[in-house]
């Protein structure tokens, strides 16, 4: 079957080429407005992007433009991970067979690690297939590689994907590995996307890259949140500081900021917004979501490992989903 935008969830836009279609996590027509190279080349990596269909098929085959990289795709049936297909470099398809009988919601999660170009998909002869309508609450989450979740075991096992399925939310993951620098164009993009809940995990790339100083960091956070708020009056916004990273907690970077400083600046930015009447914006302390107890699952002292994705998802559920968004599952 031919693919169009209606088959994708979690993509901001799609690009068409000679026989292929590629999802993007920025408006690809505005590529040059997201330097360098589409947010450091990360916006073409489809973290959280799914091909969604309602079908009675027991087989799904996804056609791929061959890649130089090994790809992992997941098949999720009615919000439960059913199978992972690991596609070697140069292969042109991912196949999922022996799916349960009857009508079901099928989502094919695309690799969060590498760009994916699709050439179409097929179901078994005689089966029906229709795009999945959204209909679910829409959650946007923005952040760094910790949100991008490169180290997850497979694309449906990133912590944002786990949280979204647990709550039956429609996920748009804007985790940009190494490239969460609180950029105004990203704020404008979030402002213009539909959302019922928004979470912003800010600060780790700024601290690591020294891209904002003590003079400019808090104003950038304030401006970013205000731009997002312009498009989403009344929507709850969780602003989370960095999770624990022991080497960076007190060590100051090239512009004089430690993670402790970053957290204090974010906390005060949120407090200022609340004092001025925005009671829908909430500060979340990152180490409460992933801290000392989870350190065994932080092998490089920065990124949660595959099991850590599940721990982060469970803690995010308790700290953010239940406390900030007011939802329990």
Name which of 103, 7, 9 is nearest 54 in CA terms: 103
Question: Where along the chain do the CATH 2.60.120.260 domains lie?
Answer: 5-131
What is residue 234's predicted lDDT score, i.e. its pLDDT? 95
DSSP 151-206: TSSSGGGSHHHHHHHHHT-EEEEEE-TT-----HHHHHHHHHS--SEEEEE-SHHH
Residue 105 half-sphere exposure, CB side, CA atoms within 13 Å? 14
Predicted TM-score (pTM) of the model is 0.96
Q: Which DSSP helix (H) or strand (E) runs through 274?
A: helix 259-275
What is residue 329's predicted lDDT score, i.e. its pLDDT? 59
Indicate the SS3 state at residue 55: strand
Question: Where along the chain do the CATH 3.40.50.1110 domains lie?
Answer: 138-322
What is residue 47's predicted lDDT score, i.e. its pLDDT? 98
Name which of 298, 8, 61, 27 is nearest 170 in CA terms: 8
| One pLDDT digit (tens) per residue for the chain, 329 residues | 789 999 999 999 999 999 999 999 999 999 999 999 999 999 999 999 999 999 999 999 999 999 999 999 999 999 999 999 999 999 999 999 999 999 999 999 999 999 999 999 999 999 999 999 888 999 999 999 999 999 999 999 999 999 999 999 999 999 999 999 999 999 999 999 999 999 999 999 999 999 999 999 999 999 999 999 999 999 999 999 999 999 999 999 999 999 999 999 999 999 999 999 999 999 999 999 999 999 999 999 999 999 999 999 999 999 999 999 997 65
CATH 3.40.50.11740 for domain 5-131, yes or no, is no
What is residue 207's predicted lDDT score, i.e. its pLDDT? 98
What is residue 327's predicted lDDT score, i.e. its pLDDT? 75
What is residue 2's predicted lDDT score, i.e. its pLDDT? 81
CATH class of 138-322: alpha beta
Cβ-count burial 270-303 (b if 16+ within 10 Å, e if not)? beebeeeebebbbbbbbbbbbeeebeebbeeebb
CB 25 within 8 A of CB 43: yes
């Amino acid at each position: 079957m031919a693919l169009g935008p209606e088959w994708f969830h979690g993509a901001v836009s799609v690009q068409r080429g000679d026989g292929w279609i590629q999802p993007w996590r920025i408006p690809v027509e505005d590529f040059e407005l997201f330097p360098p190279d589409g947010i450091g080349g990360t916006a073409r990596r489809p973290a959280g992007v799914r091909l969604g269909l309602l079908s009675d098929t027991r087989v799904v085959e996804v056609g791929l433009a061959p890649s130089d990289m090994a790809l992992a795709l997941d098949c999720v049936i009615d919000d439960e991970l059913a199978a992972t297909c690991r596609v070697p470099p140069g292969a042109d398809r991912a196949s999922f067979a022996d799916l349960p009988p009857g009508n079901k919601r099928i989502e094919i999660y695309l690799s969060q690690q590498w760009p994916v170009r699709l050439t179409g998909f097929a179901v078994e002869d005689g089966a029906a297939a229709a795009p999945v309508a959204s209909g679910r609450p829409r959650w946007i989450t923005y952040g760094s590689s910790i949100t991008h979740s490169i180290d997850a075991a497979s694309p449906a096992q990133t912590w944002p994907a786990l949280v979204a399925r647990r709550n039956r939310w429609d996920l748009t993951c804007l985790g940009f590995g190494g490239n969460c620098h609180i950029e105004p164009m990203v704020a404008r993009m979030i402002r213009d996307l539909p959302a019922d809940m928004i979470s912003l995990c800010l600060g780790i790339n700024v601290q690591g890259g020294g891209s904002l100083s003590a003079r400019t960091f808090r104003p950038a956070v304030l401006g970013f949140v205000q731009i997002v708020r312009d498009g989403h009056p009344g929507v709850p916004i969780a602003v989370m500081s960095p999770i624990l990273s022991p080497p960076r907690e007190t060590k100051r970077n090239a512009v004089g900021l430690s993670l402790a400083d970053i957290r204090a600046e974010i906390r005060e930015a949120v407090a200022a917004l609340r004092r001025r009447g925005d009671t829908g914006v909430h500060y979340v302390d990152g180490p409460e979501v992933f801290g000392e107890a989870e350190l065994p699952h932080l092998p490089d002292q920065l990124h949660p490992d595959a099991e850590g994705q599940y721990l982060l998802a469970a803690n995010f559920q308790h700290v953010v989903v239940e406390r900030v968004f007011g939802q329990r599952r």
